[in-house]
Structure formats: structure tokens, C-alpha cells
Amino acid sequence: MSELFERAKKVMPGGVNSPVRSFKAVGTEPIFIKRADGSKIYDVDDNEYIDYVCSWGPMILGHNYPLIEKEVSKAVKGGLSFGAPTEKEVIMAELITSVVPNIDMVRMVNSGTEAVMSALRLARGFTKKDKIIKFNGCYHGHADSMLVRAGSGALTLSNPDSLGVTNEHAKNTLIADYNDIDSVLQLFKANKNEIAAVIIEPVAANMGVVLPEKDFLHKLRKLCDDHNALLIFDEVITGFRLSIGGAQEFFDVKADIVTFGKIIGGGMPVGAYGARREIMELIAPLGGVYQAGTLSGNPIAMAAGVTQLSTLQENKEIYQKISMLAEKLADGLKKTAMELKIPICVNKIGSLLCVFFTGETVKDFKTAKTSNTELYARYFNLMLKNGIYLAPAQFEAMFVSNAHSEEDINKTLEASQKVLIDMKNEGAF
């Protein structure tokens, strides 16, 4: 595989098409995947792994789901792309708006980033205000205005968090702290009538998994109402994963705009954003907020997405099953750490979980950052050697799919116990 990585690095930055895949955060070379099936992935040397990345969330039914494969193969025979309306797009939009609360209309795009970028433009167009509040540790794709970190005068100033992002872009994005409602209130007070929207991952899954504390989301809803700002739920990860209605349904909190990605494409490049009619009617060609995309609503991607979402809609018991499997995994990991007296924090919600190598309770970015990323890297690499493929970075999530079995979970727990004992014997803790 090293030879393949050497070739890749000659013609792609870091040898990858997305940074996290490079395994740079875990200090080793990436594995190259040849194929996947159910809960397993296979590298080009035919090593088998139980997969807890699941393509970063899309593969909730497992890899190579027969019905999706069948529907995609059928769609391919009819042509790959027309750049014109198709019935499948109508079916997809009807499906999403029928199961996701507070969404009357939806627009397909091709990635989560594009969904967020469009939602932010829409929020600014609807409110005629410029500033956006996001949260430390939340990731919303790579649109310029989202690659921003708190500046010195954090209440009114932010700085770019990437080369190439201008101060002009950064200045309209303000940074609050997850689970700290007062940090949001202070920003509203310091930027009176300038905040168009607050964007949040209703469950943060890009600083590892961090759950919203009781009433945090409800308080955020009230703050947005009090200050005439829109609440954007970035449900690229939680959408159709926490429940069929996503985080709005799961937490019973109403968002004004919701962004989607991952699961709605069934593994194909699909994103979307949706809102109530009066907001969405501002989108071109109806209204003055422009947004477009050659491959948006692509018939092959719609075939995969519609099949995945309708399978979830018709088999809602899947949600309980994958949550129970994740529970068994989380409880087993905690039990082992307790028995070995190893400081580990395991956060879990639905079929999402994360192992932090810290003795702290991880409830925001600050506590997430207390995790020992070197220990995580050692754990990751040893688990990989034992046939378990975790996220190749501490500040990511583990995903359980409907293809995972009790046997997979037991194997994972056995491997984790063996690895943690080995690490402890080597004096890692």
C-alpha cells in the first residue's frame, strides 16, 4: 500500500482528496480501500476491518446495501445526468419534507459544504443582516465564512482559520462556546440587530461527539426568537441518523433552516437545505437569493438517496437497533477502562459515539481538547492492527450501521480490551 500512497502523494495534495483520510492525525500511512460490504471494509491487500467510519456517516444501512445497488444500477441504464428536472428529485423532496419537521421546501446540492454555504446566504438574504454565530469546535464544511476562529476581541472580532480566507469574510462570523448559552447572549448584545443566524451542529460530531446539555438547544431557539435571528441546524451528520426526523424531532426543537448531507445521498454526493415556505421562496428562480448546481438532484444520486431514506422511513425500528448496538459498545468500552483504571470519556447518542483519552467529562471544545491525541493515535493504530477501523482522528465520531452485528461489537470490545491492556503494560497511562 505504501507504493500506492507514494504515487498518490505525487499527484494529490497529501495523497488524498480530503485531509482527514491522510491519517496525518494518527501518524501513519492511510489504508487504501478496495471494496466494502455490510459492516466491513477491505483494503487493497484484502485485509478485513469492522468499519466504524461508514464513509463519515452516509452508510447507515451498511455498505453495498442490495436495494440501493439495484436501484442505482437500474438508474444508470437510463442515463447519468440530464441537467433537467426528473421525477426522482420530486420524490426525494416530497420524502424529506414529509418526515422532517418545519420544512416545507428543500433544494438539493452536492455536498454538506454547499448546503451550509447556501443556507447562510439564504439566512442573510431573508433577514437582511450580515453576521453569523457559529460554535467553537463545530465544523460546517469548508465555506470561507465557516473557516473562522475567535479573534482577540472575541465579542466583535474573528480571524480567518485558513490561508486564503480574507478578514472581510471572517469579520462577519462570530464564535460562541458549545453548551454555553451566555456566550451566545453576549454576542447578541455586542452585535445588536446584526446577527442573521446562529448555526449549530445540534449534536457536535466534529470535536469528537459532544451532546447538547439539557435545554441548551431550547434556550438557543428562544435567544434567536428574542433577537430576530434564524436558527440553522446543520444536520449533515444528525439528519436521518438520530431519528427519521433528525435532531429537530429527537430534541423537539424547531430550526428555521436545516442542512443535510451524508445519509440523504446513500453514499452518493448529495447535500440539501430546507426551510418553511416563506424562507425557501427567496431562492432563485423564485426569489433574489441565487444558488445553482449542474449536478444537483442528479438522477443516480437521487436513486441512491431515495432508496436509503425510504428504507429508513419504512423500517424505523432500525434506529432503536443501531442505538442499542452503540450502547453496548459504549458501555463495554467504559467498563474496560474502569477495570483497567484508564482515564477515558465515552460520549454516545443514538448510533454516534466517541472515545476521548481524558479523565474529564467532555462537554465542549475546551474539555474535548484535554484529550491526549497521541494516546488516541496509538489506540487507533493498534485497533487497526486488530481489524477495527475507527476514525483516524480523535476529534471525529464513530458510526454504527444497521449492518453491524452483536458479533462485530463483541469483537471490537475484545480488541479494545487487548489493546488497552497492551498500552497499559507499556506504561502509556
Where do contacts with ligand KE4 occur on this chain (CB under 6 A)? 18, 20, 56, 111-113, 116, 139-141, 201, 206, 234, 236-237, 261, 271, 396
- Number of other residues whose CB lies within 10 A of the CB of residue 101: 15
Q: Which residue is nearest to ligand KE4 (CB)?
A: 112
C-alpha cell at 357: 483519552
CA 407, 409, 411, 414 dihedral sign is negative
Contact criterion met (CB below 8 Å) for 399 and 54: yes
328 is catalytic: no
The least CB distance from residue 50 to ligand KE4, in Å, is 19
- Provide, rounded to whole angstroms, the least separation between the CB of residue 235 and ligand KE4: 8
Specify whether the CB–CB gap between 38 and 11 falls below 8 A.
no
Locate 109 and state its grid cell: 446540492
* DSSP SS3 for 112: helix
Is 219 annotated as catalytic?
A: no
What sign does the CA torsion over 180, 182, 187, 192 have?
positive
Dihedral (Cα; 383, 393, 54, 389), 10-degree rounding = -10
* 379 carries an active-site annotation: no
Kindly state the smallest distance separating residue 182's Cβ from ligand KE4, in Å: 24
**Least distance in angstroms from the C-beta of 139 to ligand KE4:** 5
Closest to ligand KE4 by CB, 352 vs 415, is 352
Question: Which one from 139, 178, 319, 379 is the annotated catalytic residue?
Answer: 139
Is the Cβ–Cβ distance between 113 and 121 less than 8 Å? no
Among 49, 65, 129, 234, the one annotated catalytic: 234
Q: Which of 262, 348, 363, 369 is catalytic?
A: 262
By C-beta, is 63 or 140 nearer to ligand KE4?
A: 140
Q: Give CB contacts under 8 A, 24+ apart, made by 406-414.
A: 406/325, 406/328, 408/39, 408/50, 409/325, 409/328, 409/329, 409/332, 411/50, 411/387, 412/50, 412/52, 412/329, 412/332, 412/388, 413/329, 413/332, 413/333, 413/336
DSSP strand pairing (48-51 vs 148-150): unpaired
When the beta carbons of 245 and 343 are compared against ligand KE4, the nearer one is 245
CB of 261 or CB of 299, closer to ligand KE4: 261
Q: What are the backbone dihedrals phi and psi of residue 371, each rounded to the nearest 5 degrees, phi first? A: -65, 140
Q: Which is nearer to ligand KE4, 95 or 237 (CB)?
A: 237
Q: What's the closest the beta carbon of residue 56 comes to ligand KE4, in angstroms?
A: 4
The residue (of 21 and 40) whose beta carbon lies closer to ligand KE4 is: 21
- Which CB, 191 or 380, lies closer to ligand KE4? 380
In the numeric block, which cell numbers belong to residue 51?
A: 468499519
Least distance in Å: CB of 374 to ligand KE4?
Answer: 21
d(CA 2, CA 17): 17
CB of residue 197 to ligand KE4, shortest distance in Å? 15
Q: Give catalytic residues, as residue numbers.
A: 139, 234, 262
